Amino acid sequence: MRRLLSSLAVVGLLTAQQAHAQLDCLSSTERSAVHVAALRSQLMVLATGCKEDSSYNAFIRKYQADLMSNERMLAEMFKHKYGRRGQQEHDRFTTELANAESTAGLKLGTDFCAHNGMIFREVMALQSPADLPTFAAGKNLVPSAAEVCQEVAEAPAARGRAAPAKRH
């Protein structure tokens, strides 16, 4: 039993390190925005799957201004990183967050709601909206498959005029 727990701890640590490494390209403000988006996604999936609509609505009301600011930060980040594809990549990322949480819920089955139910009480007990990013980061909710660091490869034509063809 001790070996199993040690193995699970190591896997958890490696997963946390992997998730953190995938966000290394981001500024601390951008990283916080990603963590808060992951928290919001988890709470949305919990609300839907566990009939916690009133808890989710209370969360949205309490943190509405901060969540809207967070969404603006994410939109700007994706626009900066992906250019014209920014909104598309932002939508893809948001979908990945929800899908990862839904998949985790399916794996836990009937234990999903019981396993995650406390998070609503925890987030509502925060002293200040300023505590939300730290709380979200501590929950380690960003799936390792979520890609936010890939830069847009600039097409040759976009870099400037193509070099004239050489005549031989």
In the predicted structure, residue 10 carries a pLDDT above the cut 50: no
Residue 108 pLDDT level (bands cut at 50, 70, 90): confident
Average pLDDT over residues 97-124: 83
* pLDDT > 70: percent of the chain: 73
Among candidate residues 8, 11, 21, 52, the one with its CA nearest the CA of residue 142:
21
CA distances, 138 to each of 56, 58, 96 (Å): 19, 21, 19
Given 3-state DSSP classes, what are the helix, strand and coil percentages for the chain, each rounded to the nearest 5? 75, 0, 25
In the predicted structure, residue 141 carries a pLDDT above the cut 60: yes
Average pLDDT over residues 104-113: 77
CA 97 to chain centre: 6
- Tell me how many degrees the CA angle 138-87-134 measures, rounded to the nearest 5: 15
Cα–Cα distance measured from residue 156 to residue 28, given in angstroms and rounded to the nearest whole number: 32
- Tell me how many degrees the CA angle 112-116-122 measures, rounded to the nearest 5: 170
Cα–Cα distance measured from residue 168 to residue 164, given in angstroms and rounded to the nearest whole number: 13
Q: Where are the domains of the chain?
A: 22-145
Range in 37-51, 124-138, 153-167 with the lowest mean pLDDT: 153-167
Q: Is 27 helix (H, G, I), strand (E, B) or coil?
A: coil
User: What tokens does 48 get?
Assistant: 């839907």
In the predicted structure, residue 25 carries a pLDDT above the cut 70: yes
pLDDT of residue 105: 74
pLDDT of residue 14: 38
* pLDDT > 90: percent of the chain: 45
pLDDT of residue 145: 65
In the predicted structure, residue 40 carries a pLDDT above the cut 70: yes
Task: Count CB neighbours of 132 within 10 A.
Answer: 22
Q: Token match 């963590």: residue?
A: 35
Cα–Cα distance measured from residue 11 to residue 14, given in angstroms and rounded to the nearest whole number: 5
